[in-house]
Amino acid sequence: MGDNGERTMEPIATIIDLAVERRKRGPRFDGGMMQILEVSRDLICLCRGGAITAINGAGVRMLGGKSTEDMIGRRLAEFLIPEYGQVMDLFMSGMASEDRAIPTRIVGLDRQTRDIELQVYRAREIAPDATVVTGRDISHEGKLAGSAHQSDSRFHLLVENSVNLVCHVVAGSIRYVNKAGLELLGAAEHEQVVGLRLEDIVHADYAALIDEIVREDAVVPMRLMHRDGTAFDALVRVTPLPGSGMGEELMFEARDITSHNRAVAALRRANETLEMRVAARTRELAEQRLRAEEMTMVAEAARRFSDSLIDTIPSPVWFKDVLGRIQTCNRAFKSLFGDGDPAGLLPLEDAVTDAELLSGACDEASYEASILPRGGGRQDILVLKTAYLDEERRPVGIIGVLTDITDRKAMERELRRLATTDSLTGAFNRRHFLAAAAIEVERAHRYGNPLSVLMLDVDHFKKINDRHGHAIGDEALRKLTECMRHTLRDIDIIGRLGGEEFAVLLPETNHDGALITAERLRSNIAQIKIPLPDDQVLNFTVSIGLAVPKGAETSVETLLAQADKALYTAKANGRNRVSAEGVDPD
């Protein structure tokens, strides 16, 4: 504990210095600010000692309330998930910097989880313990970033697979060339083209025309150079791009028309005589028929390419018509759902979001869910859907994309478990036990329900470690926790406070019921047998202290202190017994 304390002193001192420096230059607050700030879309509230005394309408909605009365008197920290509790304590104590917002996560009264940026300002003009807290909802920003990344990936895929040469030119130097461009220029590797000047791939007779082409924004014929020094004819378009501070940026596009020009020259020569003109007409008709066939083939190839492109997407993709029928889907979709309708596997929310999209209530919808695919197993998924609109902007279908987030959810659950449980016994760690117990104590005070707390300590645990080794001591603690889980109810909260000391919170349990539970627990623990290497068995006992709230203001810390006092009474009277605070032992 000492080492950890020393490591945290320097950051806290730095935070305090920042807060002191911030107070030198404002801002300043007075008691009439809340009416002015009611127009803000962000959360703005005034706190005294960490409790909300005034809050604007946007803040009420962000915290999941229906009216200001729902919020007045509540501690702002109770809306934060437990991992951010210490951060809010630093804020409210004035030791956190006012210079920047801190991203946090809250759970509102409506049980909705939101990501927000909190910033706290000291308001000593109002009172010594007053703070003004602002918060901005940033939940939607992560979704926008994911959508932008997906759009950028699709654009890059389209350019890379274009049949024409496409170059990105910055300050006259080629920074990017697609696959078609490498083939057209006769290069095998990007390094043979990237870094060249644009003049290096343009015939010398046309190099001076580049600036003219940029100004006219037109498609013009010109000659380009293969990397082996030979020239070829091409249709070229040069498009200026918005500047990024790196110099003039251009997109250089080209299509090889060498074969076309040769055909045109041949036709011109053929037209010099009647026979050639007749032959040319015949060839023209044949070419028209061939072009029609080619157009049909191109259309079919385009359709196959579109289907293949969709099939290469690793995530399931589908299109539904207005009647909810699957019209198009990719290979990943069929692999997950088979050839049938996935409606039976997706949650009710899927049908609800379909109805909202087709009604025009929204353009996009998303939800997370767990499903049991036809192939077996369990998957956590993220579904993103958008309405497909016709020329008149009317919804005529739905495009859906499903992403497998099983690994991410498993990691979140594991991180949550590691953050809240003791690694040796699997019981709640001290911090999470105190947080969970505080919620139960507050609920008991609010509704007048009974509640009890037990403190347990293994008798002569040091002797067990000294005589049999720490491995046996660890096994004793694991068996103790396992016995507690089998003896207690699912709603009872078990926590390891440190070493061989455990605490149990018993909701809906009065003093007499807690005594019966504690005695049963003591008896069951005394029957635990741990095999020893010498074919002997180890038995051990526990002493238990019991406490119940003595007033509406009793806190978790007070209850634990009372139970701890009763625990030491049990030890002083011979151990292996239960003692209740304020009650003489048997």
Mark out the alpha helices in 386-469 (DSSP H runs). 406-420, 430-447, 461-468
Backbone angles phi, psi at 10, to 5 degrees: -65, -45
Domain co-membership, 472 together with 574: yes
Residues 384 and 433 in one domain: no
- State the Cα–Cα distance between residues 500 and 66, nearest whole angstrom: 46
Over the stretch 459-505, which tens digit does the pLDDT of each residue have?
A: 999 999 999 999 999 999 999 999 999 999 999 999 999 889 999 99
Task: Give residue 8's pLDDT.
Answer: 42
Q: Where are the beta strands (DSSP E) in 290-394?
A: 317-321, 326-329, 364-371, 379-389
Per residue in 240-261, pLDDT (tens digit) is 887 655 568 888 899 999 888 8
Most confident of 35-44, 276-285, 292-301, 358-367: 358-367
Cross-strand partners of 320: 326, 398
Strand partners, 234: 222, 256
Within this chain, do residues 207 and 128 fall inside the same structural domain, yes or no? no
pLDDT at 14 over 70: no
Please indicate, yes or no, if residue 263 is contained in any of the structural domains: no
Q: Indicate which CATH number applies to the domain containing 356.
A: 3.30.450.20
Q: Please report whether residue 543 resides in a domain.
A: yes
Angle of helix 470-487 relative to helix 511-526, nearest 10 degrees, comes to: 140
Q: Say if 415 falls within a structural domain.
A: no
Domain-embedded: residue 5? no
Determine, yes or no, domain membership for 585. no
Q: Tell me, yes or no, whether 99 and 46 share the same domain.
A: yes
Which residue from 211, 236, 241 is spatially nearest to 222, judged by alpha carbons? Answer: 236
Q: Considering just the CA atoms, what is the radius of gyration of the chain in Å?
A: 37
Are 429 and 572 members of one domain?
yes
Comparing CA positions, the residue from 155, 121, 126 lying closest to residue 27 is 121
Selected residue with higher pLDDT from 514 and 360: 514
Residues 449 and 499 grouped into a single domain: yes
Q: What is the dihedral of CA 16, 21, 23, 24, to 10 degrees?
A: 150
- In this structure, are 452 and 572 located in the same domain? yes
Beta carbons within 8 Å of 418's beta carbon, 6+ residues apart? none
Which of 408, 437, 466 marks a domain boundary?
Answer: 408
Preceding omega of 27 cis (within 30 degrees of 0)? yes
Cross-strand bridge partners of residue 223: 233
Do both 305 and 171 map to the same domain? no
Name the token pair of 39. Answer: 């127009």
* Count of structural domains within the chain: 5
In this structure, the answer to whether residues 479 and 509 fall within a common structural domain is yes
The 3-state DSSP class for residue 120 equals strand
Q: Which domain holds residue 176?
A: 159-256
Same domain, 445 and 462: yes
Query: Do the domain assignments include residue 146?
Result: no
- My answer on whether 104 and 247 are in the same domain is no
Instruction: Give the per-residue SS3 of 558-579.
Output: HHHHHHHHHHHHHHHCCCCCEE
Question: What mean pLDDT value characterizes the chain?
Answer: 83
Q: Which of 256, 286, 304 is the last residue in one of the domains? A: 256
270 falls within a domain: no
**Does 104 score more than 70 pLDDT?**
yes
Rounded to 5°, angle at Cα 429 from 424 and 435: 165
Last residue of a domain, one of 102, 137, 172: 137
Average pLDDT over residues 262-288: 76
Q: Are residues 427 and 560 in the same domain?
A: yes
Mean pLDDT of 404-409: 86
Q: Report yes or no on 467 lying in a domain.
A: yes
pLDDT at 102 over 50: yes
